[in-house]
């Protein structure tokens, strides 16, 4: 069976750029469903030009009641390597609708059969960190223990550690525990894929992501961590409680031959959003490959008639 080729990396940017450009006119207009529809339709058209025999493992799926890019759908031109595909045309639909920072379009690929299929398990308790502290996190340990371990691994004081948490009532106790141990918090409204990637990128000021978010986003994050040398641990969160085995990075994506591409829709710490110009638009994307650990940040000028 053919394996993904390195040329796929730059093909994937075209997919996320197309989705981001389709979503951008909806930024700040309060219509998240219409923004998502535009991004999904644009991504689906472009993804089918990619040289791969892809199957969507992580898609819009049942959760978003999407008519396309659903789990199990065949994508690509069916002439290249057999791949598992994870897509999120907009990670941060509410951010897009409200004109807030941090919305991205993202896609990840891995060899067929290597991505964890969450099926109908939509939520996961997660902890994510970068390469310096990848070996010291333990999702079963108390919050303060994890923060202290990360601080020690990064040679920082606890007061210098910043933890990203989704701003949800379910995280009230977690937020209290983080503050009690002396660390700082950055609350986000949505978009935990970009925030998770920030934990493993230099000069973002983010050290950890903790709390309950989407399971599909957890799988995409695992692909990013393989490329960046970071780590994610997760446990499915069903009916209000965490249950089942602890899932490591390799449980979620079991291959080094992974690719991830993301394009900014709105500005964020990771990448800039779409900017309109007199000739069209400018996009910024990040693309990474697990096997070579290559990371590229690419700015593209788009001529729009």
DSSP assignment of 31-95, as one string?
Answer: -HHHHHHHHHHHHHHHHTTSSSEEEEEESSHHHHT-SSS-TT-EES-SSS-EEEEEEEEEE-HHH
- Write down the pLDDT at residue 3: 64
**In this predicted model, what pLDDT tens digit does every residue of 104-159 receive, in sequence order?**
999 999 999 999 998 888 999 999 999 999 999 999 999 999 999 999 999 999 99
Residues of the chain with CATH 3.40.190.90: 123-252
CA torsion angle 50 52 55 56 (round to 10) = -30
User: Is the pLDDT reported for residue 43 higher than 70?
Assistant: yes
Distance CA 84, CA 42 (A): 20
Query: Can you name the CATH fold of 6-114+256-303?
Result: Fructose-1,6-Bisphosphatase; Chain A, domain 1 (3.30.540)
pLDDT of 65: 54
Is 93 annotated to bind a ligand? Reply is: yes
Q: Dump pLDDT digits (tens) for 184-243.
A: 999 999 999 999 999 999 999 999 999 999 999 999 999 999 999 999 999 999 988 888
What's the pLDDT score for residue 7? 64
**Is 179 marked as binding a ligand?**
no
Residue 81 near residue 20, CB atoms below 8 Å = no
Report the pLDDT value the prediction gives residue 138, as an integer from 0 to 100.
98
| 61 assigned binding-site residue | no
Reply yes or no on whether the pLDDT at 177 is more than 90: yes
The mean predicted confidence, pLDDT, of the chain is: 94
Structure confidence at residue 152 (pLDDT): 98
33 is in an annotated binding site: no
pLDDT of residue 67: 60
CA 296 to chain centre: 16
123-252: CATH architecture = 3-Layer(aba) Sandwich (3.40)
- Tell whether residue 276 is among the known ligand binding residues: no
Three-state SS at 159: helix
30 is in an annotated binding site: no
Q: How far apart are CA 118 and CA 165, in angstroms?
A: 22
Is 190 marked as binding a ligand?
A: yes
Residues paired with residue 213 on neighbouring β-strands, in sequence order: 124
Establish whether 51 is an annotated binding residue: no
**Ligand-binding site membership of 169 (annotated):** yes
Q: Where in the chain is the domain with CATH 3.30.540.10?
A: 6-114+256-303
């Amino acid at each position: 069976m053919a394996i993904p080729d390195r040329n796929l990396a730059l093909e994937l940017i075209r997919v996320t750029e197309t989705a981001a450009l389709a979503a951008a006119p909806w930024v700040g207009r309060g219509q998240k469903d219409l923004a998502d529809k535009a991004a999904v339709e644009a991504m689906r058209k472009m993804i089918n030009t990619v040289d791969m025999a892809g199957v969507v493992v992580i898609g819009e799926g049942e959760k978003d009641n999407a008519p396309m890019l659903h789990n199990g759908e065949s994508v690509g031109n069916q002439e290249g390597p057999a791949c598992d595909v994870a897509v999120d045309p907009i990670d941060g639909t509410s951010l897009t609708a409200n004109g807030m920072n941090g919305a991205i379009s993202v896609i990840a690929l891995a060899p067929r059969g290597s991505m964890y299929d969450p099926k109908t398990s939509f939520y996961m308790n997660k902890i994510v960190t970068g390469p310096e502290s990848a070996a010291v996190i333990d999702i079963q340990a108390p919050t303060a223990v994890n923060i202290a371990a990360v601080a020690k691994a990064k040679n920082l004081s606890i007061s210098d550690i910043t933890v990203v948490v989704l701003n949800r009532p379910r995280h009230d106790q977690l937020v209290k525990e983080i503050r009690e141990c002396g660390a700082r918090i950055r609350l986000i409204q949505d978009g935990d894929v970009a925030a998770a990637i920030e934990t493993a990128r230099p000069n973002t000021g983010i050290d950890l992501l903790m709390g309950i978010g989407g399971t599909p986003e957890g799988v995409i994050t695992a692909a990013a961590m393989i490329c960046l040398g970071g780590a994610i641990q997760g446990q499915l969160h069903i009916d209000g409680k965490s249950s089942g085995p602890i899932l490591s990075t390799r449980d979620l994506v079991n291959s080094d031959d992974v690719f991830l591409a993301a394009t900014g829709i709105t500005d964020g710490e990771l990448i800039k959003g779409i900017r309109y110009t007199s000739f069209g638009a400018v996009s910024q994307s990040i693309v990474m490959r697990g096997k070579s650990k290559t990371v590229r940040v690419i700015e593209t000028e788009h001529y729009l008639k």
